[in-house]
Amino acid sequence: TGYGQWEYNVQANNSEGSDAQSGNKTRLGFAGLKFGDAGSIDYGRNYGVVYDAIGWTDMLPVFGGDSGNSDNFMNGRSTGLLTYRNTNFFGLVDGWNFAVQYQGKNDRTDTRRANGDGWGVSSSYTSPIGVGIVGAYSSSDRTNNQAQGQILDKNGNVIATGVGAGKHAESWATALKYDANNIYLAAMYGEMRNAAPISSAITLNGAANSANGYANKAQIIE
C-alpha cells in the first residue's frame, strides 16, 4: 500500500505585500510503501527517530518537546530521512514497535540546520493497561563547519570557532508514559553530545554579539 504526507505551515496573519510568504514553510513531506506486518519504508522530510521518545512529552501546545528542534540531526523534523518502521513486531507482539532510520547529508550554510550522514534506531512497548516505555538513539557525522565548532552571529557570519567542536553528534532519549482511563502522564530523559543548539550573547573585541552554536553536552528532563 502506498502512502504519503505533506504538511505546510501558512501564516494567516501575513498581508499580500512583501511579507506574503514570510514564515511559510514545509513541515513534513514524505512518501512510502507499507507491506502489511512486514512494516513500512518511506523517504522525505519526516520526524527523526529520536523524536519517537521526545514526542511522548510533546503534548502541550506551548511547552514540552523543547529538545525536538527541527533540522537538528534526528531530534525533530528533518530532511533526507529514509525510515523503516514495524508495528506490533511483525504482527507477533501487540504494542512492540521499532524503527530504523538513515539520514543523508545536508551541508547547509547555516550550521545550525546542517548535518552529515547519520543513522538511528528506536523501540517502544505499550502494555494493554496503557503503561509504555520507549528508547531511541542516533549518531551522525557533522559537517566540516560543525566539526570546527563554528559560532555564527545573527547574520550568519563566523565570529568564533572551537565551541561544541567534534566530528560526530549523538543523541539518545528514553521515556515512560501512562495513557489510559482519560489520563495521560509522561516523563522523558535524554542526552545530546554536539547536537544541542544553543544561542547566547558573547562579547568579542568589545562588541556584543548574538551567537548560535552547539553545546558539547546537554541533558534533557521533561
Q: CATH assignment of 30-221?
A: 2.40.160.10
Q: What pLDDT sits at residue 214?
A: 85
pLDDT in tens, 14-51: 887 877 788 889 999 999 999 999 999 999 999 999 99
Q: pLDDT-derived band of residue 150, with 50, 70 and 90 as boundaries? A: confident
What mean pLDDT do residues 118-139 have?
98
Amino acid at 192: M
pLDDT in tens, 156-198: 677 666 677 889 999 999 999 999 999 999 999 999 999 998 8
Rounded Cα gap, residues 148 and 154, in angstroms: 19
- 3 state DSSP class of 139: strand
Domain boundaries defined on the chain: 30-221
Rounded to 5 degrees, φ, ψ at 37 are -70, -10
